Amino acid sequence: MNASADIRAEPRLVGLSAVSGPSLSLVGVPNCGKTALFNRLTGSRQKVANYPGVTVERKEGRFAGPSTGRVYRLIDLPGAYSLEPTSLDEAVARDVILGRHASEPPPDLLVCVVDATNLRLNLRLVLELKRIGRPMIVALNMSDVAKQRGFRLDRAALERALGVPVVETVAVKPGGERALVEAIDQYRFTEHQTHVETPPPATAADIEATQREVRRILDEIGYRVPPRVALLSKLDSVVLNPIAGPILLAIVLFLMFQAVFSWARVPMDFIQDQINALGKVIGATMPAGPLRNLVLNGVIAGAGSVLVFVPQILILFFFILSLEDSGYLPRAAYMLDRLMGKVGLSGRAFIPLLSSFACAIPGVLATRTIPSSRDRLATIMIAPLMTCSARLPVYALLIGAFIPQRSVGIFNLRGLVLFTLYMAGVLSAMGVAFALKRTVMRGEERPLLLELPEYRFPNVRNLALGLWERLRIFLGRVGTIILALMVVLWFLASFPAPPGGATGPAIQYSIAGMLGRGLQFIFAPIGFNWQISIALVPGLAAREVAVSALGTVYAMSDTGDVAGALAPVIARSWSLATALSLLAWYVFAPQCLSTLAVVKRETNSWRYPLIMAGYLFVLAYAASFITYHVALALGAT
Amino acid sequence: MRTVLIHTRHMDAAAAPVGLALNPGYVSLSTLSPGSSGLVVGIGMAAGTMSSLERRLLELGFFSGEQFEILAESWPGRDPFVVRIGNTTLALRRREAESIWVEISRTR
């Protein structure tokens, strides 16, 4: 390889900026442990982005070969059962493998990851890939689990039968990638090719011939499948039970939302204390003036009030990632298929919708596994109704300020209110989906056909990497968009300065104050004061910004300039009806530009993001209007 | 060879497996209940054409001689249901399983 000379100079440099050596692609059927192996090979040296034009996640990482010092560029392709795609994910994998992808040259080496506990399914893809004649190594993954469960596995025999190098890997154990790394490092790379022969489309007879070949190979190498582990069968007899299964699902989801509130309390209090302490230190040491004002009221009050929600967001993602890793999510999708079918959605929509509880953007991205474009579009349209973690700060703030900490039976009242808000989102999503599928998105039903992978214990390392990735994204937002907006807002809220002899707080005379009062004409009927109205504007960039904007607005309205806790301030100055109305607003909350931008890119038109923003605004306004007036009528002042 | 049609709720004579004479023992997978197991006979498709669903079913292992077992079905409506084919567990709707022809060795 001609690049190896350059790399030898700094063999340990494996950052993303390192000169690139041979390119490798991980391919394999979904659930074969491909991504765990990718994490094992590249550690945290990975870059997650999208393929241009489509929102299929593109994961790239690098690692160095121990003996040659070559730096390998590794791409984790989306899982695919076959080179004949039935989803966007599989289409991207096929295009890259066959060198048809516009921006991704064909890899120098395919690393085909196979699940040793299900060679029957996995080898068919290996044979299909072998037929296109690209350099290939087979990674016999989960070889430890296979041996534990009593599979008869003969690596050397499989290597002889397939005629390509086969190595055993254990993606979830340290060192489990060693044999693969060595095999890659010893691989004699040939000249980089850009042209790949495209095989003719397989006929039914071809597929059957391949399947017979798989059976022949399995017989030849003496691969024996033991009876299914009794424990797994027992687990499935409960999880898939028509009565117990749905009850279990409801319990799991309910626990998840309770945990978000109860487990997060201690770390949240801790972070709040640190922020307060920092504010005090800066207040005491910096000379008074506009700069101190900016740091205290803009940066600390603004960014600080969002940072507090890191524990809750991590707990939510912890649950979603663990459920995903354990194999439970597809089973939930199976159970909900009929229910979701009633509103015209496929059970497959469950996984993107559950991801949308974390953030609508990964949710929209996850719709790529839905084969039907109409189902996919309908799922995208309702994804923002799932309460995303960015709304959590708003809910948490308002619930913390207005709902008493009390037990209702065995439940926590605050947790119960939060659950109700989440349910309101889900139910309205169902309503919208029903309306869409009855009107503009009518179409024929598409197959469910979903693999239910074997259960496994979520891997701590993969969980940690996943959480770290989310934390980095969230903190990145706090550090960039949110911080910048807070500084802008602080500026708008500070200038022009109040005229001499003014009696009200300074912000009333500023640009922000004027803007807020202007917007109040629109929002007064639903009970929002001018502070809320102004906070909704920067909240367009990201929903959680509304909280930091409120933090800034109130910090600027107060006479003191210490960045204090926001909750007691709004508890004093808002009516309960206003708080409930704002909660109702945030169930729909149209303002999230990033989601709209992703939808625009995903659907390739302005039509759907505009419809989405429009319908969300109408629903939000109507819900807040009703909530506010009903609450007032019931005496919630 | 005998050609007998068994009349089941989901059966469609046109979807009989190509090249396979209908045998009284063959039924469509879509009619079975949890606990049933046996061997796959084949996918019934009109000669020369293969839908993408049928292709995928073949690729996932629904072809002649594979072991299957129905593991579960949801309630109400018994649909979708869960079938184990070879060593793979799949959830699918009854309608999607109509063209899969099987020979039952055990029922419940």
Show residues of chain B in contact with A215, CB under 8 Å: 65
pLDDT of residue A247: 94
- CA–CA separation, A424 and A619 (whole Å): 12
Closest CA to A624 of A580, A576, A570, A573: A580
User: In sequence order, what are the beta bridge partners of B92?
Assistant: B81
ipTM of the complex: 0.82
Nearest CA-CA partner of A493 in A525, A535, A529, A464: A535
pTM of the model: 0.78
The confidence score (pLDDT) of residue B12 equals 45
User: What pLDDT shows up at residue A254?
Assistant: 81
Instruction: Tell me the nearest-neighbour CA distance from B5 into chain A, angstroms.
Output: 24
Given an 8 Å threshold on Cβ–Cβ distance, is A237 in contact with B45?
Answer: no
Q: Report DSSP state, residue A503.
A: -
Inter-chain CB proximity A118 and B57 less than 8 Å: no
Residue A389 to residue A361: CA distance in whole angstroms: 11
CB A634 within 8 Å of CB A599: no
SS3 A596: helix
- Residues of B whose CB is below 8 A from A448: 80, 91-93, 96
Inter-chain residue contact A449 with B90, CB threshold 8 Å:
yes
Phi, psi angles (nearest 5°) of residue B100: -90, 120
The closest CB to that of A121, out of B61, B64, B74, belongs to: B61
> Which residue is closest to B66 within chain A, CA to CA?
A215
Residue ranges of chain A whose CB lies within 8 Å of a chain B CB: 81-82, 84, 86, 117-118, 120-121, 124, 202-204, 207-208, 211, 215, 225, 228, 236-237, 240-243, 245, 330-331, 333-335, 337-338, 347, 445, 447-454
Listed residue (A540, A554, A616) closest to A585, CA to CA: A616
Looking at residue A533, what is its pLDDT? 85
pLDDT at A20: 64
Predicted pLDDT at A295: 81
Q: Which residues of B touch A84 (CB under 8 A)?
A: 52, 55-56, 59
Q: Which residues of A touch B46 (CB under 8 A)?
A: none
In the sheet with A23-27, reading across from the earlier edge strand, the strands are: A46-50, A57-64, A71-76, A23-27, A109-115, A136-141, A166-168
A86, A90, A142, A207: which to substitute to probe chain B, counting the most B Cβ within 10 Å?
Answer: A207
CB contact under 8 A, A207 and B74: no
Contacts of A75 (CB under 8 A, 6+ apart): A23, A24, A25, A26, A58, A59, A60, A96, A104, A107
The token duo for A272 is: 């709040």
CB contact under 8 A, A240 and B77: no
Q: Is the pLDDT of residue B102 over 80?
A: yes
Are A319 and A256 in contact by the 8 Å Cβ rule? The answer is yes
Q: Find, among A137, A128, A115, the residue nearest to A83 by Cα.
A: A128
CA separation (Å) from A34 to A40, A236, A452, A484, A622?
10, 24, 16, 38, 46
Top residue of B53, B58, B70, B89 to mutate, by most chain A CBs within 10 Å, is: B89
What residues in B contact A240, CB-CB < 8 Å?
A: 71-72, 82
Chain B residues inside the 8 Å CB shell of A331: 91
A64 neighbors A71 (Cβ within 8 angstroms): yes
Put simply, the answer to whether B87 touches A120 (Cβ < 8 Å) is yes
Contact (Cβ atoms closer than 8 angstroms) between residue A446 and residue A375? yes
Cβ of B96 and A84 within 8 Å?
A: no
SS3 B92: strand
Q: How far is B100 from chain A (nearest CA, A)?
A: 13
Enter the DSSP assignment of A316: H
Chain B closest CA to A570's CA: distance in Å?
Answer: 47
Q: pLDDT means per 10 residues in chain A (637 residues)?
A: 35 45 91 88 69 61 89 91 88 90 87 94 94 92 88 92 95 90 90 73 88 94 83 88 92 81 81 86 82 77 73 81 86 88 83 79 74 82 86 84 81 84 90 85 76 87 83 74 74 75 70 82 89 78 73 66 64 88 87 75 82 92 94 82
- Tell me how far apart the alpha carbons of residues A556 and A497 are, in angstroms, rounded to a whole number: 12
- A330–B82 CB contact, under 8 Å: no
Q: Are A132 and A157 in contact (CB under 8 A)?
A: no
Please tell me which of the candidates B57, B60, B93 has its beta carbon nearest to residue A121.
B60
Q: Which of A86, A211, A331 sits opposite B52 (nearest CB)?
A: A86
Q: How many CB atoms lie within 10 A of CB A147?
A: 15
Matching residue, tokens 């530009």: A593
Our CA-based measurement puts residue A600 at a distance from the nearest CA of chain B, in whole angstroms, of 29
Minimal CA separation from A107 to chain B, in Å: 25
**CA-closest candidate to residue A207, choices B45, B91, B32:** B45
3-state helix, strand, coil in chain A (%, to 5): 60, 10, 30
A85–chain B nearest CA distance, Å:
9
State whether B90 and A207 contact (CB < 8 Å): no
Residue B15 is which amino acid?
A
Task: State residue A49 phi and psi, 5-degree precision.
Answer: -145, -170
Give, for A311, the enclosing helix (H) or strand (E).
helix A310-326
H-state helical runs in A43-192: 88-97, 119-131, 143-148, 155-162, 178-186
Quote the pLDDT of residue A16. 45
CA separation (Å) from A364 to A349, A367, A383, A418, A422? 10, 5, 7, 23, 18
Q: Confirm if A50 and A56 have CB atoms less than 8 A apart.
A: yes
Cα A107 from Cα A94, distance rounded (Å):
12
Min Cα distance A440 → chain B (Å) is 25
Helix A373-382 and helix A607-633: axis angle, to 10°? 40
Task: For residue A337, give the nearest of B54, B61, B80 by CB distance.
Answer: B80
Chain A residue with minimum CA distance to B61: A121
10 Å CB burial of residue A294 (0-12, 13-18, 19+) is middle
The minimal CB distance from B89 to the residues A202, A337, A452 is found for A452
Secondary structure element (H or E) that encloses residue B41, with its range: strand B37-43
> Could you identify the residue written with the tokens 């923002």?
A384
* C-beta of residue A615 within 8 angstroms of C-beta of residue A439: no
CB A61 within 8 A of CB A45: yes
∠ Cα A232 A234 A235 (to 5°): 65
Which residue from A120, A245, A448 is facing B86, i.e. has the nearest CB?
A120
Name the helix (H) or strand (E) containing B104: strand B100-106
B97 vs A contacts (CB less than 8 Å): none
> Cα distance from B32 to chain A (closest Cα, Å)?
16
A330:B77 CB<8 A: no
| Whole-number Å distance between alpha carbons of B108 and B94 | 18
- Cβ of A204 and B45 within 8 Å? yes
CA–CA separation, A309 vs A550, rounded Å?
A: 15
Handedness of CA A427, A430, A435, A436 (dihedral sign): positive
Contact B88 A236 (CB under 8 A): no
Contact residues of B toward A, CB < 8 A: 43, 45, 50, 52-61, 63-65, 71-77, 79-80, 82, 84, 86-93, 95-96
CB A89 within 8 A of CB A369: yes
B79 contacts on A by Cβ (under 8 Å)? 338
B90 contacts A450? CB cut-off 8 A: yes
Percent helix, strand and coil across chain B, each rounded to 5?
20, 30, 50
Q: Which residues pair with A113 in a beta bridge?
A: A139
Picking from B46, B45, B20, the residue whose alpha carbon sits closest to that of residue B103 is B20
What pLDDT is stored for residue B1 in this prediction?
A: 39
